[in-house]
Amino acid sequence: MQSAPAPKLMVKRPDGQFRELEWDREAISVGRDGANDIVIDHPLASRRHARFERSGDGFAIHDLESTNGTFVNGERLTGARVLHSQDQVIIADAVIVFQDPEATVKGVLPPDLLRAVREELRVDSRTKEVFIRGQALDPSLTVKEFQLLEMLYNRRGQVISKDEIAREVWDYEVFDYNAIDALVYRLRQRIEPDPANPRYLVTQRGFGYKLITSPDA
Compute the CA torsion angle 8, 12, 16, 18 (nearest 10 deg): -20
DSSP letters, 14-37, are TTS-EEEEE--SSEEEEESSTTSS
Q: For residue 163, which phi and psi values (nearest 5 degrees)?
A: -60, -45
What is the pTM (predicted TM-score) of this model? 0.49
At what angle are helices 143-154 and 178-191 packed, to 10 degrees? 80
Q: In whole angstroms, how far apart are CA 3 and each of 55, 82, 98?
A: 18, 22, 19
| pLDDT per residue rounded down to tens, the chain (217 residues) | 445 678 899 999 887 788 888 998 899 999 999 999 999 999 999 999 999 998 776 899 999 999 999 999 989 998 889 999 889 999 999 999 999 877 645 555 555 555 555 688 989 988 899 998 878 899 999 999 999 999 999 999 999 999 899 888 886 665 577 889 999 999 999 999 999 999 999 999 989 999 999 886 5
Strand order in the sheet with 80-82: 38-39, 27-31, 50-55, 58-63, 80-82
